[in-house]
Structure 1
Amino acid sequence: MADASLKAELRKGRLAARDSIPAEERIEKSLVLAAHGTEVISVDPGTVVSGFLPIRSEVDPRPLMDQLRERGARLCVPAILDKTTIVFRELVRGADLVPGTFGTVGPGPEAAELDPQIMLMPLSAFDAGGHRIGYGGGYYDRAIHRLHQKGLKPRLIGIAFDCQEVASVPAEPHDVRLDAVLTESGYRLLGVTA
């Protein structure tokens, strides 16, 4: 339980730091982050990229997602099906978005479900070793595990503001490490071997 308590404390602190960034500054930092991401994230036509539609004070990855779409990526975003499962539904221009869980919106059940090759992942906190703290539901860890069971190994890129970095995240056996993190300071590979 000590790890869970520490994670909860780190989550609360980093989300408070993120919440304290003024809205205008969050927009500017999100645009800078998108510019960095556009320089380093390459996609072939048809590459499936999962992003997310921001809630609360999250980084807004939509400018980056739009650039990746312009280069030929197929975009998808998470949809929560139940208390344990998310799927990734294709996000196409002009499609209706429907309300989801936790204040999210996204494509409805008629949208195609895709298996991401690159995952742009929201988070609460991260460390230089590639460990992340999500929002506590474990949805992404389970989704990544399902992709691994299918023999897929998506590239995992945490999307965050610099203020969300911590010295160390307690790792649990089910936690999946990030390959990289993208912040307003740039793109960094994190504690993983190639």
Structure 2
Amino acid sequence: MRATVPAGVTRQHIRQTIRKTRRALSTSEQNRAAQALLARCQVSDTLKQAHHIALYLTNDGELDTEPLIHWLWQAGKHVYLPVLHPFSKGHLLFLGYSPNTPMAPNRFGIAEPVLDIRRVCPIANLDVVCTPLVAFDATGHRLGMGGGYYDRTLSRWHHHREGPRPIGLAHDCQQVASLPSQSWDVPLPEIITPSHHYRW
């Protein structure tokens, strides 16, 4: 179900509204959504053809990515998780992720792989980057948490259609009619929710 957001509201108000909505989902609703998302991802040509896939661990009511990660491992795919860059503020590194990867909380309290330069995958070597988002609209515009991490990660895709293909993952309740966009926002070519696979 699409979230109702009044026209003319600020990006910050949309963030607050949608984050509150998705955090209110019950455990059973979250579990059903995760399984429905997995079913859609399993028939995605983009994911079936990809070998190196960046994902993220769930936080703040986001759609649970754990079933998807386990399926990708079983399918022989290489999975990577974002790590806050220690020297370049606002940027991400992507490290290989397996069941025995050492983890530690970052400054936002989100678990990430312990930095090991040997496990870093250059962004250009990724096939797909599955991006978290707070809200999205009918044209593929994405509203994130405001840090710009994924906008920077996907800048080459945004300007030149080069690099890994981004796919947004979201609950259905995170869709709004339209988003106020900025010049640095990266519209996504695909967004997968439990009930739809949007392509632009």
Q: TM-score range with shorter-chain normalisation?
A: 0.7 to 0.9
- What value does the CA root-mean-square deviation take over the aligned residues? 2.2
List 4+ stretches of structure 1 deviating above 4 A: 146-151
> For each residue in 1:64-105, what CA deviation from the matched residue of structure 2 results, as whole angstroms up to 9, or x when unmatched?
122222223211011112541111111022111111131211
- Give the drift of 1:108: 1.0
- Residue in structure 2 matching 1:113, options 113, 117, 120: 120
How high is the sequence identity, in percent, across the aligned residues?
Answer: 30
**Other structure's SS at 2:154 match:** helix
Residue pair 1:44, 1:71 contacting (<8 A) in 2 also: no
TM-score of the superposed pair, with normalisation by structure 2: 0.84
Could you list the per-position Cα deviations for residues 11-57 of structure 1 after superposition, in whole angstroms to 9, with x for gaps in the alignment?
Answer: 11111111111122112211111111111143347x21010111121
Which residue pairs with 1:103 in the alignment?
Answer: 109
How many corresponding residue pairs?
186
Matched, 1:166 2:172: no
Aligned counterpart, 1:38 = 42
Mapping for residues 38-187 of structure 1, pairs under 5 Å: 38-40=42-44, 41-44=46-49, 47-82=51-86, 83-110=89-116, 112-114=119-121, 115=123, 116-145=126-155, 152-187=162-197
Question: In structure 2, how many angstroms separate the alpha carbons of the residues matched to 1:67 and 1:54?
Answer: 16
Q: TM-score normalised to the size of structure 1?
A: 0.87
Letter in 2 for 1:68: L
- Equivalent pair of 1:125/1:164 in contact (CA under 8 Å): yes
Please list every run of 5 or more consecutive structure 1 residues that lacks an aligned counterpart in the other structure.
none
Structure-2 separation of matches of 1:35 and 1:151 = 27
